[in-house]
Amino acid sequence: MAAPKSRLGRGLGGLIAAAKPVAPVSPAVPPAPAPAPATPGAPGYDEIDVHRIDPSPYQARREITAEQLNELAESIRAEGLLQPVVVRKVGERFQLIAGERRWRAFQQLRIKSIPARIVEASNASAAALGLIENLQREGLNPIEEAHGYASLIRDFDLTQETAAERVGKGRASVANSLRLLGLDGEIQGFISRNLISVGHAKVLLGMEDVALRSVLARRVIEEGLSVRSLEKLVQAQPKSVRPSAGRRAKRAGSKPEEAAAVGRIEQKLVSHLGTRVAVLHTPKKGRIVIEYRGNEDLQRVLGLLGIEA
């Protein structure tokens, strides 16, 4: 049977092979006897003192859990290190390109040196290689992946197409990933924690009403809605979506800061009541419109408002 193809067009190994290895260096302090990991015998690898390595400033992963780190540390203790970290020389120290979790596990195990491959790489190449490592080996969540692409584009003045080429992805795939960053922070958090899927996120991105997006995202979680069910729910909404609170206030002649304040109030009401709320405000008068669905939902909303029916 043919070997399965990599998810990415250019694998991490291929890109590293294209980078120019530098001559191995001797560690400043000989490694102390410790549960020694397996060291690859291929040329271009060396043992580097763990304390001489710094994390990458381009790391896409936002969170490394204690559980993940403990599991990796126990695996290294039992089996040794199967894949060395990749570093580049920066001044008198080394900077990680790939393998931060492995490096942190060595710190946790108090092992003084770690097998590493030393390559020469520009800042942009180091960032791309680190992102590929995470995508292929360490499973970034969709929001971390999107932030990784955004960092490549922002920090190194790349186009979406160039960034996609760097990591061996299609431009459309990168563009779709970046769209997730257009969602508000709460929904991004739901995606990061795998409470809603990217499929759900794509449906929500098609809605202009930000407050309603949040309401529907919570309904997906609370009711276990499928992507198809969410699509039907969105299609059932009125075609003429009401303008946002900010636009309504602006139309009434309010100042931008007043419009922003009204928007924040509306969002707080949406969060508290778990339903769609419109704050129709003018300097002289206004009204609050609260949406509910049926008798039971009305009872729920009234309860949250402290009103007995």
Would you report the helix, strand and coil content of the chain in percent, each value rounded to 5? 50, 15, 35
Q: CA nearest 192: which of 66, 58, 67, 62?
A: 62
Active-site annotation holds for 100: yes
CA distance 187 to 192: 9
Question: How far apart, in Å, are the Cα atoms of 293 and each of 237, 276, 299, 301?
Answer: 12, 10, 10, 10
Which entry of 63, 74, 79, 100 is annotated as an active-site residue? 100
Locate 175 and state its tokens. 């563009």
Do residues 59 and 91 lie in contact, with contact meaning Cβ atoms separated by under 8 Å?
no
C-alpha distances in Å from residue 34, one per residue of 19, 31, 50, 112, 198: 31, 8, 13, 8, 44
Q: Give the closest residue to 49 by CA, choosing from 97, 93, 109.
A: 93
Phi (first) and psi of residue 48, to 5 degrees? -120, 140
The tokens for 115 are: 């097998």
Question: Which one, of 120, 48, 109, 132, lies nearest residue 84 by Cα?
Answer: 48
Query: Roughly what angle, to the nearest 10 degrees, separates helices 160-167 and 123-133?
Result: 60
Please state, in angstroms and as integers, the Cα–Cα distance from residue 40 to each residue in 109, 120, 274, following that order: 20, 20, 56
The count of other CB atoms within 10 Å of the CB of residue 81 is 22
Provide the 3-class DSSP secondary structure of residue 261. helix
The residues annotated with a catalytic role in the active site are: 100
